[in-house]
Amino acid sequence: MLYFLKAYHGWYLSKREESKFIWKKLGEMPNIPKKHKDIIKNNNKNFNNLLSPPSPLNFIMKTTNKSEMKEYYINN
């Protein structure tokens, strides 16, 4: 929500380019509430921001054997 508010208020505080950048990043984030997602989508449409799909999360999970590590990937 803080990032959302920063984008909103940045537009009215003459930080327009930063605001456009934040709206774009917000549009690429998963798990945003629907009512905010609609506002973000509308702003990105108005600013002609082209969104890229969210990148997969990458993490390494340690097993009980410390010498063995496995990589797992999660797609959002």
Q: Give the model's pLDDT for residue 29.
A: 85
Q: Give the model's pLDDT for residue 64.
A: 58
Amino acid at 39: I
Amino acid at 5: L
pLDDT digit string (tens) for the chain, length 76 residues: 888 899 989 888 988 899 999 988 888 888 888 889 899 998 888 888 887 765 555 555 555 555 555 555 554 4
Domain ranges of the chain: 2-74
Produce one character per residue of 14-36: b if its CB has 16 or more CB atoms within 10 Å, e if not. Answer: eeeeebbebbbebbbeeebeeee
pTM beyond cutoff 0.75? no
Q: Which pair of tokens denotes residue 3?
A: 């990032």
DSSP state letters, 12-38 = HTT-HHHHHHHHHHHHH-SS--HHHHH
